[in-house]
Structure 1
Amino acid sequence: MIQLEQARTVIAAARAHGREHGLKPLTVVVLDAGGHLVAMEREDGSGYGRPQIAQGKAAGALAMGTSSRVLGDMAADRPQFIAALSVAWEGKLIPAAGGVLIRDAAGTLLGAVGVSGDLSDKDEEAAQAGIHAAGLAQG
């Protein structure tokens, strides 16, 4: 399981990446491998629904064992499947880039990070920067 201090490092580094690259205000959520909230920060000016979107990106990645970017690709190829998953999971799946699995050096799944606030590709870059800064691996 991801530790609170690791989650805080992921969040701080994701936010720092956002500031360094001029991204819109971000919301960053870290879930443990069981899908439980470990930490969340919403920057000033980040939109009302951003925590739920960030959590949905991370939760979808965990539930399907792949990044939310891949889930977005699946939604384009198999929209009925993703729609069915969304219904089954009561709308808690956001199939857009920005949700990334977090692993340790041995490849053990620790959890996932979800970022929302800018374009999905930029959200994903911030998530990846946070994981890297914490000395962890993505995927």
Structure 2
Amino acid sequence: MSASVEDRFAKLSLSSDGKRSEDSTRIILATVYPKPGKTERIIELYQPIIKDGADKEPGCIQFQLFVDVNPETGNEEIFTIEKFKNLESLRLHQQGESLKEFNKITAAEDLHAKPVLVHVVKPVSGFAI
């Protein structure tokens, strides 16, 4: 049984002694696999989510999309970087109408070649400017 995104986020928010870490900022890295020719449609459908993240979700401090071509398949893939201040911010995002609408439309239009792969990560080394 796989853990939910929320469960993984919460687990990573704990320090090694089991207490809640003072820095509970976490990043969601998702890989979206559009069917051939559907990349632009999926990017279009992400726009309300991005707008809501900026306008209605103060705990969403980053939401970006990137596109690459898979060297093995030749298919485009969309990568998201979503950064949230805390678990409550993630929950607000997941309950948003724009995300629900995105999921509904992408399913109805059969836009995904395979399920989205989601990683919940925390920084452990390096720098950001």
What is the TM-score of this pair, normalised by structure 2?
0.31
Q: Which has the higher contact order (CA 8 A, sep 6+)?
A: 2
Which structure features the higher share of strand residues? 2
What is the TM-score of this pair, normalised by structure 1?
0.29
Which structure features the higher share of helix residues? 1
Computing the radius of gyration from Cα coordinates, the structure with the larger value is 2
